[in-house]
Structure 1
Amino acid sequence: MESDELLDVLLAGGRRAERATHVRHVPAREGVREPWPAWADTDLVRGYRALGVDSPWRHQAQAAQAAWAGRHTVLATSTGSGKSLAYWLPALSAVRGRAAEAALDPGRIESARRRASVLYLCPTKALAADQLAALDRLLTAAQVRDVRVATCDGDTSTDERRWVRDHADVVLTNPDFLHFSFLPQHERWSRLLASLQYVVLDECHAFRGVFGAHVALVLRRLRRLAAAYGASPTFVLASATTADPAASAARLLGVDPHEVESVTEDASPAGRKTVVLWEPPELPGYGPDASTPWASLLPDEDPWATPGEPETRPRRTATAEVADLLADLVVHGGRTLAFTRSRRAAESVATATREHVAHADPSLRATVQAYRGGYLPEERRALEHAIRSGSLRALATTNALELGVDISGLDAVLIAGWPGTRVSFWQQAGRAGRAGADGLVALVAREDPLDTYLVHHPEAVLDVPVEATAFDPTNPYVLAPHLCAAAAERPIRAEELPLFGDRALAVLDDLVANGVLRRRSSGWYWTHAEPASRLTDLRGAGGNPVRVVETDTGRVLGTVDAAAADATLHPGAVYVHQGATFVVDELHQADDVALATRRDVDFGTWAKWLSTTAIVDVHDERHWGPVAWYLGTVDVTSQVLGFHRKHLPDLRVLGYEDLELPPRTLRTSSVWWTVPASVLEEAGVTLEALPGALHAAEHASIGLLPLLATCDRWDLGGLSTALHPDTGEATVFVHDAHPGGAGFAERGFHLGATWLTATRSAIADCRCTTGCPACVQSPKCGNANNPLDKAAALRLLDAVLRHATA
């Protein structure tokens, strides 16, 4: 379908035209091809041609040539631009070439060479499975039977792992398996390590924040062990378009940026893409006399309205709006992905869309499904195949389909709510119109100040460069456990310290002083019985996933992350799986199992929880006159207290039930500053304005700290309160969102004046009137960015900073 036809479907022939706040047409792009390189394996070339690839695009050929020449290479081009050919062509050509060389003269021992091996790393198991299927298609088309490919991860059986260790040429896995199993047992993987010629890192922009720092150190450990076995592999990285990919890739690998070849000019063809920013309509009726199903849920007046400004009316939810738009696209034959912000929203959009399309054609119900994390692997593979083949017309999905699972031929992408970063937005948008076809992308705003701002300020979405990938592998909180893991794998020698960065020696000295490592003239040694790899979790998951099991049959329905289990799998919770509703009977936290019974219900459940931040101890403090700064340990505690049952779809409250679930506590490092009443009076911040002033200052400071602490915004959390029980004063907390801390809050404490000055400047220099995503709004705010008071925050920060220089 052409993009103009898709846009007309969205606008309903003009009846919904006022909801489109901005329409941008991105022109089509012609593709530029290059000839196959002379070194490319002829059988592989034949296989690619059989699959429809007559010759590579220029960026594919450039990246493949750089990798073949032995240069670390990063390819940062758009979704659907064929990045996989750029790494599989040199990697598989090397495997086949070395295999042929090894067989040239088997009678002469001096001519024997190892077969080249390849390690493929990606953030998710789903992506590894997708790549395995793609490789099978290529090798089958090429009629190549001498390349042995296998996945190996935490789900792989012992017998399968043994075969992979002994025979596989290409191993597809993830950094977690490398950290917990592959590197600690490197002797078992010596065949692969000794012959390792290429390491592929797919979707490497996902390696950011603390997770990125962990992965960077895992890769340094891999490089170190490969060198010990005589190998010096070439790394090939595939990334979405990001700022300065060569610098990010170099930091990930631990090499100088000039050692990385960067290919960023996309030469693949692209159809005309239409990007629509969309604001759902105001709800009909408002106030106590409104005769609508929502009347009982609406306040008599807007509590955040500014005197003299037009009254703000509640708008339709983004999920309800997206379900309508998705249904219209399905009825008109469009193939669409609808991205949502949560698992619940994905199920809700799919269910509502099925109901809508059934009115037009009951057979269309089966063409709409949900896709999200927590599904069983075989369910996800079946859904991916169905959307590829066209038997499904629509998937309502979480960001689980944002990464590179190959799904092409889609007409449209709907995005229910700002996904948090421009990198994510363009990754999701890139799913529309792949393979040179036209595509439509619509960002549908949630009822949130951040989303509202973005759909009315298209330049903030469409005209600003994507974010850089931020992470710091020299962070001592992250570096320390990896140095222990490296020492356990092979004693660390002095000449290897540059691989781990300038802080490595100081961190090793601390580990020795605390009895964690032992120092000998020959290096640093791990001498404990327990595995050093268990000192850290790359993703900070905080517990095992909870399995959801059908009570009557014992069938596993799916899984839920441990952190979300209390709020979504408590007794009485409604769990939705592909439109079918189950009610949770029991949650067995010790066994990581929830039992649920299939029941048709017309309500959903919403947990009510309480979060608190308690000061455990203070490590350091400083005073700016009456303003006090502290660095210490805090307990961030969340507890699910009960849940509401709400009728669907009008969200009418049916009842509330208390729960007795234990609190969940994150002990971490935090920086906090307190403001006494005298400073508030000096700043002219009244008690009424104080919550909004503190909240705005908290958001802006969290947004600025990554510039000083080399972290990601999602690595931080915060709290602001007009009166904290532990301080007795107005307080702003910014804490590390990782158990034990990761050093970011400590960095903020030591750079307090610089940090708050930058925060104040970011707010003051922003041209908005009342606050926007560039200054005080946050994409991760749990309070829907309310209340926020930009002007009061500026007065507050001015007063605080005056004392810093007094």
Structure 2
Amino acid sequence: MVHTGELLDVLLAGGRRSDRLTHLRHLPARAGEQVDWPAWADPDLVRGYRSLGVERPWRHQAEAADAAWSGRHTVLATSTGSGKSLAFWLPALTAVRADVAAGTLDPGRIESAARRGSVLYLSPTKALAADQLGSVQRVLTASGARDVRVATCDGDTGRDERRWVQEHADVVLTNPDFLHFALLPNHRRWSRFLGSLRYVVVDECHAFRGVFGAHVSAVLRRLHRVSASYAPQQPRLPGSAQEARRPATPGPVFLLASATTSDPAASAARLVGGEGREIVAVTDDASPAGRKTFALWQPPELPSAGGPWSDLLPEADPWATPLPGDAPGPEGSGPVGTGQEQVAEEPDRPRRSATVETADLLADLTAAGARTLAFTRSRRSAESVATIAQEHLDAVDPSLRGVVAAYRGGYLPEERRALEQAIRDGRLRALATTNALELGVDISGLDVVLISGWPGTRVSMWQQAGRSGRAGAEGLVALIAREDPLDTYLVHHPEAIFDTPVEATVFDPANPYVLAPHLCAAAAELPLREEDLPLFGPRTRELLDSLVARGALRRRASGWYWTHAESAARLTDLRGSGGDPVRVVELSTGRMLGTVDAAAADSTVHPGAVYVHQGATFVVDELHLADSVALVSRRDVDYGTWAKWVTTTEIRSVDQERQWGPVRWGFGAVDVTTQVVSYQRKRVPDMQSLGTEVLDLPARTLHTSSVWWTAPAEVLEAAGVTAETAPGALHAAEHASIGLLPLLATCDRWDLGGVSTALHVDTEQATVFVHDAYPGGAGFAERGYELGETWLRATREAIATCRCASGCPACVQSPKCGNANNPLEKAAAIRLLDAVLAHSPGS
């Protein structure tokens, strides 16, 4: 392992890159605190853990395990690498083994034929479930415990293997999607397993936020209801784990593992149902931590020149598609309404792209012998960082080219497993990854983590940073700023990163767009009864009445029934991706290369689009949306493709409203209609336009929540904003406000969308809209409405303090603009925001 000081010198290139370092923070080491094993712990399991090097547990592990064993729902919220898995596997496996032992005490007695206890493990991704399977099997093998049957079961599991799991498995590891689409709709086939369910482990539960969190919350409530319907069939054996552990609440005990978040008990209660006081929260991390060096980094400005972009950006990232990362959504999914990066008009002093800067640093660190993860903000950025780093290493030492690879969602499962194993055993030294590796896949012994662009929340940042220096070793982390208002602000305001508490996990289980289809799914599983309604929240009856009126459910005296032939589970997509993933298939061979989330398909795999997979380029021949398949052909091309779309917003209801003099603020439901209309081919790397092609794709309408503010004629006049500059001023203010809202809400700009117009048909005035990019909304726009003045002042400050003259990606340009960042008027936007804020309550 290379010393952290040496690696910092590699980052700084012996001082040649010192001007890019905006702040250096040394986080001190922390000593660990061990305690004795709980008295109830299975002796064989304890011996197994000891043989694997865990002589005694950390105090937080024992506290969480004790709470779970006593039958209390528990959330353990501690740092990456703090050993959260031991805290839930120790009570879970002990319970299963105790039931097995109790059942064999007296084979001659009929009551000894009771079902052995079972455990369900849920994680946000298949990769994490597969990783945990290996961990559990290592513990059981070391313990000599051959009487516990463990298996993963998900969408990739074959029919015969799935039948074995249903009939025999004691511990099943899966994800919420499988629970929603397969297990719960077919719960009768799982009656043995559900009828003896002792524990439900929810791993990395901080990933269940926003609309995805609301979906998972509904799924867990459905699970609780179905498992309770089988519970009365279980006899209670004297001396069994059931007897030793009498739950404080009926049904299985929920044990949740989380990153360090604000108020984890309240978040866990929203997720599984119940009040915060019913959840035991263990938050004091007693594991050791090595000294961590954290660098904030801003890529350099490129030299001023009068030449084209080809002279300024010879290494510009031609494949950057700022889709969201691969978690907490599905592996590789993105919110509705996002699309590809648009190349803007040349700014006055552009900075080197974060993608190219990250690739350079990754290559230098790899050549120096470091083991590194480079987190990127998109699938294509991961591919690009890996490819550029490989090219740099090839020039230094051709043998090093093969030790760097890309990792992202959309790869086939076997590709992802092979990459995970290669980084573990040292065949790979570095991975450029989306946040698919942010979650708990066990990759230890890493020296450095590079974070290319603010990951959206402090929770995610600390999760990614925690990958370096695990198990008490020292580590180096560098956050490399993109040209983005928030990134620029953060690397120059380190207190906003290091001295500010992490966010709470925010989601709304009562979101009607989320809850309504889950009520249909619940009714299809078992008819909904009156006594079930409190489980799903106070708005349940109102939603049921609406579903009956629309013919989705049928009301009878005994309850609510699903009477349709099709599966009710197909009514909703947990990941909010708008449909089944689009498979990317090579036309000549029939080989499936990967998948693209349905909402992003129009802008990423439209006919003529360039698709990149492990550095190889393919061109899309056909896109069949009805069949969810894109057919591609392998071609070496010297260009990339960038989509263009048009967006309109219609106000459906005004839920809240307030006046700032002539300025009106509103919050409510809107319909956002987006249509990809064309794409542009641009030569790589000089980005010269090679032409525009028209597309004929259907429009997509998103029903969501939005905040908006108006600027009537007198405000525009006071700001000196003319009819010619108004569209650009409003557009610039919209972009910057989207970039700054994540400072106030638990989101990033990919969770948001926006529209600005000089005259909106509903408000009849110039209006700026910022909406949640998820059906039904996710609470982010409402947060903007609540903190409108603070939000706009931060937006104005970000634009005014940017050093550029006419607007750049660090202030008013947006990587997700459908109009190629045109028009934009930076100076007029500052004057407009000043005029609006002059009417604010705090003015």
**Aligned equivalents of 2:545, 2:154: Cα separation in 1:** 34
**Aligned equivalents of 1:291, 1:623: Cα separation in 2:** 49
- Matched-pair contact (CA < 8 Å) for 2:458–2:503: yes
1:778: how far off?
A: 9.8
Cα deviation digits, residues 517-553 of structure 1 (max 9, x gap): 3334433333333332222221122132222233333
User: Aligned AA for 1:117?
Assistant: S
Describe the shift of the 1:257–1:714 C-alpha distance in structure 2 as closer, same or farther (beyond 3 A).
Answer: farther
Equivalent residue number for residue 795 of structure 1: 835
**Aligned equivalents of 2:658, 2:459: Cα separation in 1:** 40
Residue 647 (str. 1) matches residue 648 (str. 2): no
1:205: how far off?
A: 0.5
Q: With structure 2 as the length reference, what TM-score do the two structures score?
A: 0.85
Equivalent residue number for residue 573 of structure 1: 609
Query: Of the candidates 524, 542, 566, which is equivalent to residue 488 of structure 1?
Result: 524
**Aligned equivalents of 1:353, 1:724: Cα separation in 2:** 47
**Aligned equivalents of 2:736, 2:392: Cα separation in 1:** 39
1:40 partner SS: coil
1:96: how far off?
A: 0.8
What number of residue pairs does the alignment pair up? 780
Which moved further from structure 2: 48-57 or 576-585? 576-585
- Matched-pair contact (CA < 8 Å) for 1:685–1:795: no
Cα deviation digits, residues 26-51 of structure 1 (max 9, x gap): 11111111122121112222222222
Residue 274 (str. 1) matches residue 293 (str. 2): yes
- Matched-pair contact (CA < 8 Å) for 1:286–1:313: no
User: Aligned AA for 2:816?
Assistant: G
**Aligned equivalents of 2:118, 2:560: Cα separation in 1:** 30
Residue 201 (str. 1) matches residue 237 (str. 2): no
Runs of 4+ in 1 over 6 A off after TM superposition: 302-305, 616-628, 701-708, 710-713, 776-781
- Matched-pair contact (CA < 8 Å) for 2:210–2:507: yes
Which moved further from structure 2: 179-188 or 510-519? 510-519
Query: Of the candidates 691, 701, 707, which is equivalent to residue 666 of structure 1?
Result: 701
- Matched-pair contact (CA < 8 Å) for 1:220–1:253: yes
User: Aligned AA for 2:393?
Assistant: V
Pairing of 1:665-704 with structure 2 (within 5 A): 665-669=700-704, 671=706, 674-681=710-717, 685-687=721-723, 688=725, 691-692=728-729, 695-696=732-733, 700=737
Equivalent residue number for residue 421 of structure 1: 457
User: Aligned AA for 1:175?
Assistant: P
2:787 partner SS: helix
- Matched-pair contact (CA < 8 Å) for 1:572–1:585: yes
**Aligned equivalents of 2:796, 2:715: Cα separation in 1:** 27
Describe the shift of the 1:96–1:790 C-alpha distance in structure 2 as closer, same or farther (beyond 3 A).
Answer: farther
Describe the shift of the 1:292–1:217 C-alpha distance in structure 2 as closer, same or farther (beyond 3 A).
Answer: closer
User: Aligned AA for 1:209?
Assistant: G
Residue 386 (str. 1) matches residue 422 (str. 2): yes
**Aligned equivalents of 2:36, 2:444: Cα separation in 1:** 24
Equivalent residue number for residue 471 of structure 1: 507
Equivalent residue number for residue 323 of structure 1: 359
Pairing of 1:158-237 with structure 2 (within 5 A): 158-230=159-231, 232-237=251-256
Pairing of 1:529-678 with structure 2 (within 5 A): 529-601=565-637, 603-615=638-650, 633-648=670-685, 651-653=686-688, 655-669=690-704, 671=706, 674-678=710-714
Describe the shift of the 1:107–1:794 C-alpha distance in structure 2 as closer, same or farther (beyond 3 A).
Answer: farther
Describe the shift of the 1:266–1:174 C-alpha distance in structure 2 as closer, same or farther (beyond 3 A).
Answer: same
User: Aligned AA for 1:759?
Assistant: G
List alignment gaps of at least 5 residues for structure 2. 232-249, 317-343, 803-809
Equivalent residue number for residue 450 of structure 1: 486
Equivalent residue number for residue 338 of structure 2: none
Residue 782 (str. 1) matches residue 783 (str. 2): no
1:229 partner SS: helix
**Aligned equivalents of 2:555, 2:80: Cα separation in 1:** 48
Equivalent residue number for residue 94 of structure 1: 95
- Matched-pair contact (CA < 8 Å) for 2:651–2:668: no
Cα deviation digits, residues 546-595 of structure 1 (max 9, x gap): 22233333322222222223333334433322223333343344433333
- Matched-pair contact (CA < 8 Å) for 2:33–2:287: yes
1:611: how far off?
A: 2.4
- Matched-pair contact (CA < 8 Å) for 1:690–1:792: no
User: Aligned AA for 2:196?
Assistant: S
Cα deviation digits, residues 221-266 of structure 1 (max 9, x gap): 1112222222611111011111110110011111111111111111
1:124: how far off?
A: 1.1
Describe the shift of the 1:453–1:110 C-alpha distance in structure 2 as closer, same or farther (beyond 3 A).
Answer: same
Equivalent residue number for residue 447 of structure 2: 411
Which moved further from structure 2: 40-49 or 401-410? 40-49
Which moved further from structure 2: 64-73 or 759-768? 759-768
Equivalent residue number for residue 751 of structure 1: none
User: Aligned AA for 1:31?
Assistant: G
1:193: how far off?
A: 1.2
Describe the shift of the 1:639–1:718 C-alpha distance in structure 2 as closer, same or farther (beyond 3 A).
Answer: same
2:416 partner SS: helix
**Aligned equivalents of 1:359, 1:706: Cα separation in 2:** 41
2:717 partner SS: helix
Equivalent residue number for residue 140 of structure 2: 139
**Aligned equivalents of 1:675, 1:496: Cα separation in 2:** 48
1:163: how far off?
A: 1.2
1:764: how far off?
A: 4.0
User: Aligned AA for 2:122?
Assistant: L
- Matched-pair contact (CA < 8 Å) for 1:685–1:796: no
| TM-align CA RMSD | 3.4
Equivalent residue number for residue 241 of structure 2: none
User: Aligned AA for 1:163?
Assistant: W
**Aligned equivalents of 1:657, 1:515: Cα separation in 2:** 46
